[in-house]
Structure 1
């Protein structure tokens, strides 16, 4: 009931996850990323411990494939899980358990991995990877383009209701963590609209955290 991608920007070293699902609040349970380390999507009958586990393994020096192997070794009921990983060199690894739901498949490319379950067809992850590789610009823009490509290729077998976008870069917190936890409309477009608003302010929010004396004003009431 989910399709997603994890990706790295080869120019900046930024990592990101974009995800959508028919389930509510999918990004709250399935998206994980750590600056300087990598990004993980843990989905399909989700075990939220697997994302941090994979990131810890990569922080300790493992590559994506090694981290996925460790997830397989340590994970409970791993035959039900789907885990996508990208590491600091842009290498990717994927585990899709044989008990993943419905039509499930996966795809990989340089700096990007995609997977899904309960899909409308088995072309969706490859369409996501192709959409990412064909895009340019900010990693957030590329993640949105890729998720839209997956939806255009069929997406889930049924309607999606939640989506999320997470980005990490240089600081130990997500520089963007945008979510639509439930809508009867298109959650991907809801997140895309939020990204359009947030993107011009991203650097300023980081600056406010690091040194508010140098932070710009946005003219909100009381901010003079």
Structure 2
């Protein structure tokens, strides 16, 4: 019911996850990222705890392959799960259990891991990896391009209704956590439009958190 990308920007060290599904509010369960640590997507009969555990293992020094190995050996019900991991050095690893739903597939390269289930075509994850590899610019732009490539390659077998994107960098909170939790229209297109609106404000929001005295005008009544 899901296709997703976990990725790292080699130039900036940002991490991000983008995901879309026929289920509501998919990003609330599937997208996990931690500044300076890594990015994880946990999906297919989802156990969000796997995302948290994977990030904890990365923070302790495990690489992406090691994390997947630990989860396979210790976490219950892994036959039902898909987990995508990208670590702080750009290593990537994926677990896709044999009981993943429908047509499922995975693809990865340095700095990126993509996977999906109930897909219209098994080539969807590779199309996402290829699009990410060709893309340039802000990590958010690159994640959106990968999601659009997934749709162009067929996407999910049925209509998708939710999408989300999380980005972390040099602060302790996500600098972007954007969600289309339900729509009858294309949630990936909605997410792209939301990112276009949010991107110019991202640095202002970080500045306001760090030092409001340096922030530009808020442009609201009462702003002195």
Smaller-chain TM-score range? over 0.9
- Find the counterpart in structure 2 of residue 188 from structure 1: 188
Q: In structure 2, what is the Cα distance between the partners aligned to 1:140 and 1:204?
A: 16
Give 3-state SS (helix, strand or coil) of 1:143's partner. helix
Q: In structure 2, what is the Cα distance between the partners aligned to 1:78 and 1:35?
A: 26
* Higher deviation after alignment, 135-144 or 68-77: 68-77
Q: In structure 2, what is the Cα distance between the partners aligned to 1:200 and 1:74?
A: 43
- Find the counterpart in structure 1 of residue 100 from structure 2: 100
- Find the counterpart in structure 2 of residue 204 from structure 1: 204
1:72 maps to 2:72: yes
- Find the counterpart in structure 1 of residue 85 from structure 2: 85
* Cα displacement string for residues 2-24 of structure 1 (whole angstroms, at most 9, x for unaligned residues): 00000000000000000000000
- Find the counterpart in structure 1 of residue 215 from structure 2: 215
Q: In structure 2, what is the Cα distance between the partners aligned to 1:205 and 1:3?
A: 29
* Cα displacement string for residues 148-196 of structure 1 (whole angstroms, at most 9, x for unaligned residues): 0001100000000000010000111100000000000000111111111
TM-score for the superposition, normalised by structure 2: 0.98
- Find the counterpart in structure 1 of residue 48 from structure 2: 48
Give 3-state SS (helix, strand or coil) of 1:72's partner. helix
Query: After superposition, where does 1:1-224 map in structure 2 within 5 Å?
Result: 1-224=1-224
Q: In structure 1, what is the Cα distance between the partners aligned to 2:64 and 2:40?
A: 10
Q: In structure 2, what is the Cα distance between the partners aligned to 1:78 and 1:20?
A: 21
Q: In structure 1, what is the Cα distance between the partners aligned to 2:73 and 2:119?
A: 27
Gaps of 5+ in 1: none
Q: In structure 2, what is the Cα distance between the partners aligned to 1:154 and 1:48?
A: 26
Alpha-carbon RMSD across the aligned residues, in angstroms, is: 0.7
Q: In structure 2, what is the Cα distance between the partners aligned to 1:199 and 1:164?
A: 14
TM-score for the superposition, normalised by structure 1: 0.98
Give 3-state SS (helix, strand or coil) of 1:113's partner. strand
Aligned-pair CA distance for 1:216? 1.1
Aligned-pair CA distance for 1:72? 1.3
Q: In structure 2, what is the Cα distance between the partners aligned to 1:210 and 1:68?
A: 35
Give 3-state SS (helix, strand or coil) of 1:217's partner. coil
How many matched pairs? 224
After TM superposition, which residue ranges in structure 1, 4 or more long, deviate above 3 angstroms? Answer: none
Give 3-state SS (helix, strand or coil) of 1:73's partner. helix
